[in-house]
Amino acid sequence: MMEMMRATRALGAFVRGVGLGDVDDAGVDALYQALIEHQVLFLPGQYLEPADQAAFGRRFGELGQRHHSYVTHPDSEDVVVLDWQPGDRPDAAEWHSDMTFTQEPPFASILQAMLLPPVGGDTLWASMYSVHDSLDSGFRRDLETLSATHDPGAFRNGPFASGGTESMNEMLSNVGSAVWPIISHHPVTGRPYINVSESNTRWIIGVGAPESHRILSMLFASTNRPDHHVRLRWEPGTVAIWDNRATQHYAVSDYAGHRRMMHRVAVARDTRLTSVS
């Protein structure tokens, strides 16, 4: 019997009584509905093999888009391995939605904890509906007509370190950038959410640098308020599933000297969306 317990007022729910490896179709539909409602789901004790994690992802939608800078698992090329060694500087300690610099960012991500530091390495999620709803109505009206550019942000560091400006520019031109309305609307719920992130949003189209900087700084500061967050303390085998459209996440980088390894599957397209729209 599937049980759901809300995590915070803003977002998140713990789900118990379901195994993602053998859940039936009605269970997958219930998880999808819960994801739309709670934005991020936490399922402890799953211990999925890479092929099973990818197979579960396919029941939510089409897989396909993998991040240009991560390696995949030898048993399943749909599983990205996020492996931070003791000497590494983890790169996800910034608020972001996955791959908003592409024309079609993934709809959902499914992340499983494989190996954790003794303490630390939590992940936070922010509800960008909640950020939107907290803004002053006049400010929201000003934002309604504005769009902003998203690019790969700090992912330029790797190519620059290995091949200088030329290799950085090559990566930027291969990966590209995208423009999104600052107030976007969720395709299933229709609810407005703030679609800018400190990792990837660079510029508000049509305004000068000081104004762009001022508005983005206000939105980043608002995203950072704990009122909009849920924080997960991982256990090995816990799976988090998030709706990438109206959430952002931040992987806390407080475990220097220890290894942390996660397996991630990105669901590119929400197949249920095509069937309801």
Ligand X SMILES: O=C(O)CCC(=O)C(=O)O
Smallest gap from Cβ 213 to ligand X, in A, equals: 25
Q: In this structure, are residues 261 and 115 in contact, taking their beta carbons and an 8 Å threshold?
A: yes
Cα–Cα distance for residue pair 74/79, rounded to 1 Å: 9
Q: Which is nearer to ligand X, 184 or 247 (CB)?
A: 247
Does the protein bind ligand X through residue 98 (CB under 6 A)?
yes
Q: Does 262 bind ligand X (CB under 6 A)?
A: yes
Q: How far is the CB of 29 from ligand X (least distance, A)?
A: 25
| Residue 5 bridge partners (DSSP) | 14
Cα–Cα distances in Å, from 232 out to 48, 122, 277? 19, 6, 33
The answer to whether the beta carbons of residues 124 and 247 sit under 8 Å apart is: no
Answer for which of 264, 265, 268, 270 binds ligand X (CB under 6 A) is 264
> Measured from the CB of residue 197, what is the shortest distance to ligand X in angstroms?
11
Set 150, 249, 260, 263: catalytic member: 249
- Which of 52, 78, 91, 98 does the annotation list as catalytic? 98
Q: Which residue in 66, 151, 264, 270 is the catalytic one?
A: 264
User: Rounded to whole angstroms, what are the CA distances from 217 to 23, 152, 155, 180, 245?
Assistant: 43, 18, 21, 17, 21
Q: What share of the chain is helix, strand, coil (3-state, %, to 5)?
A: 30, 30, 40
264: annotated active-site residue: yes
Candidate residues 15, 111, 128, 268; the one interacting with ligand X per rule CB under 6 A? 111
Residue 133 is among the residues annotated as catalytic for this protein: no
For ligand X, the closer of residues 125 and 193 by Cβ is 125
Instruction: Supply the minimum distance, in Å, between the C-beta of residue 98 and ligand X.
Output: 5
CB of 261 to ligand X, least distance (A): 9
Report the C-alpha gap between 231 and 248 in whole angstroms.
Answer: 12
Catalytic (active site) residue 228: no
**Residue 78 bears catalytic tag:** no
Q: Which position among 11, 63, 92, 114 is part of the footprint of ligand X (CB under 6 A)? A: 92
**Residue among 66, 32, 11, 13 nearest 273 (CA):** 32
Task: Pick the closest to residue 129 from 229, 246, 223 (CA basis).
Answer: 246
Interacting residues with ligand X between 175 and 234 (CB under 6 A) = none
Residues designated as active site:
96, 98, 249, 264
Positions in the binding site for ligand X (CB under 6 A):
82, 92, 98, 109, 111, 123, 249, 251, 262, 264
